[in-house]
Chain A
């Protein structure tokens, strides 16, 4: 009997051993708002991925007998000016908006953490050089640049499906400096820690020290910052597309679908065309921000209990 209880205790003890990520996940689960954000985000992703597959219509299929029709059973969110199903396009637009945001963030995280890591680790001249590049990028006139590039793209007759990639890369390239600063700041203090001296005394190479020993220590901040950046990348894509500078028809994106509201008649008489994509943008970005804030709380080592 006694032996059994010792066995139980041991089992409990092994169950208690958790990686830092599991601990963070457990804390995150307690945060209701963050979980709400996560659920909304999951639903959005699910709809965007699965929606187009189950929809009876395709993105470009025109129902000429039902042009600009209000919501009905056949078209739950109505049709647009050439008779395309708004709901189907909304799903497709979600794919585009979410993936533009995601890829932009991936690009920004890769550039930002690599350059931030290098700047923070080496310090001195290399640090100054990279940080001045960051300053330059941060003072770039973002909108004029994008307008110019959009104009050039139209001039070169870049096909619409490729424009999407240009937008991704541009947002990514223009948004890495913030992350680079965060990573650099953390690495600056991390590299003075004793475990880095220990790593050096083991004869580990610089590259390995930066990317294997230092960067993983900043993953928490990188993830939080990337999550919040995802929201702003989606917003940026929406604004650009709304202004006609980003994703162009016939490829839909949420921002580009809202564009129809520029026409006063549509704004007043056909709300089914612009309200759903507007709500999608709002909900997604809101969900990402809630989730990101929750993540920050969950990953903050100072809140460890």
Chain B
């Protein structure tokens, strides 16, 4: 247990919308070990990002964290006061956002924005914060860092901005880096560069990474351990190699099949039929059963629990009930 950096237990984040209750995160538990990269995979709207934001208590009304513990280095973040958790945000845990185009404030120079976090959490004055900002920009591989530091976000390309975002996120040597779809908005060549950069930084800093994505390729490349989420619940989790080789849950299998493989000769790409269920009207039983080709009677009636189906591999599916 000593090497667990973050342990989440039975996290529930609900949104009280005008149309009704949305259970965005519904009883999620997982752990992140020190130095590990945890991949969180799922379709849009499955609660990946909400889970991440719940860790830092960045949930705005009508959302609310109903229950659960988020134990980070022995402290339960959920019980922390706003003032105390603010000291953790951006310092011990920091976030890289999806949209580099809109995640930087358009009226500040890059240096000001990176320097702000540095001044806040590391007690440096303006001059030293600026020096540190230039240093961080160099770390993330931005050429002419001493010029870029005085430029505005609109003068940088998407890849550059994402690099600047990463510089901002790692400027205080976080122990946990939450990357919320860090490469989704970038084109493929830049994606590869950014992933490479993140991997190198992770190794240099020794931080853990929670990598949220819907891109299985990114997961395969980066993650050590993978969680698959569907409709606010974890449906399957395993080590990355195990999951790709030996996927259990029909949803994971569907996801893997809907990914093009160059060597496989196929006319069409497989897709999972149907859509993510309306969060206001979840189907009874297993949330996935309307789209599942293996659906049985019991799937319509009651929800399967996340259980170990083989060594170090958990799935929530009736197909594997009684296997162990």
Contacts and interface: CB of A to CB of B under 8 A. Distances in A.
A199 B121 CA distance: 13
Contacts of A216: 105, 107-108
A193 B107 contact: no
Interface stretch (B69-77, B92-100, B294-302): B92-100
B86 interface: yes
A204 B120 contact: yes
B91 A203 contact: yes
B165 interface: yes
Interface stretch (A13-21, A107-115, A160-168, A224-232): A13-21
A217 B152 contact: no
A219 B107 contact: yes
B103 interface: yes
Contacts of A204: 86, 90, 116-117, 120
Interface in A4-61: 14, 17, 19-20
A203 to B, nearest CB: 3
A198 B89 contact: no
B152 A198 contact: no
B104 A203 contact: no
A203 B120 contact: yes
B272 interface: no
**Size category, A interface:** 20 to 34
Contact of B107 (A14, A198, A202, A217): A217
Contacts of B102: 193-195
Given A19-B152, A194-B99, A204-B116, A199 B105 contact: yes
Contacts of A213: 105, 108
A189 interface: no
Given A14-B147, A20-B152, A200 B103 contact: no
A203 B107 contact: no
A194 B182 CA distance: 13
A127 to B, nearest CB: 13
Contacts of A199: 105
B88 interface: yes
Interface in B50-90: 56, 58, 85-90
Given A14-B147, A203-B120, A203-B121, A198 B104 contact: yes
Nearest to B171: A202
B151 interface: yes
Contacts of B103: 194-195, 197-198
B155 interface: yes
Contact of A20 (B58, B94, B107, B121): B107
A205 B105 contact: no
Contacts of A3: none
B105 A195 contact: yes
B120 to A, nearest CB: 6
Contacts of A19: 152
Interface string A257-293: 0000000000000000000000000000000000000
A261 B89 CA distance: 67
A197 B53 CA distance: 10
A217 B97 CA distance: 20
Interface in B97-145: 97-99, 102-108, 116-117, 120-121
Contact of B58 (A14, A195, A200, A212): A200
Given A17-B155, A204-B86, 8 more contacts: A14-B147, A20-B107, A194-B97, A197-B97, A198-B168, A201-B56, A202-B89, A202-B116
28 contacts: A17-B151, A19-B152, A20-B106, A193-B102, A194-B98, A194-B99, A194-B103, A195-B106, A197-B103, A199-B105, A200-B58, A200-B89, A201-B56, A201-B90, A201-B95, A202-B116, A203-B86, A203-B88, A203-B90, A203-B91, A203-B117, A204-B90, A204-B120, A205-B86, A212-B116, A216-B108, A217-B106, A219-B107
